[in-house]
Copies of this chain bind each other. A is one copy, B any other.
Amino acid sequence: MKQPTNTPNHFEHLLDQHHLKKTAPRLKVLSMMADKETATSQPDLESLMNDVDRVTLYRILNVFEEKGIIHKVFDLNGTANYAICTSNCQEHRHHDEHLHFNCTQCNNVYCLNDLNLPAFDLPPGFKVNGFTLYATGLCPDCSKKQN
Contacts and interface: CB of A to CB of B under 8 A. Distances in A.
Interface of A: 74, 78, 80, 99, 101, 104, 110, 112, 115, 117-140, 143-144
B139 A125 contact: yes
Interface centre among A119, A130, A133, A144 (most CB of B within 10 A): A133
Given A118-B118, A131-B135, A126 B101 contact: yes
Nearest to A128: B137
Copies in the complex: 2
A123 to B, nearest CB: 7
Nearest to A124: B140
Contacts of A134: 131-134
Contacts of A99: 120, 122
A79 to B, nearest CB: 9
A121 B127 contact: no
A118 B115 contact: no
A101 B129 contact: no
Contacts of A123: 112, 115, 140
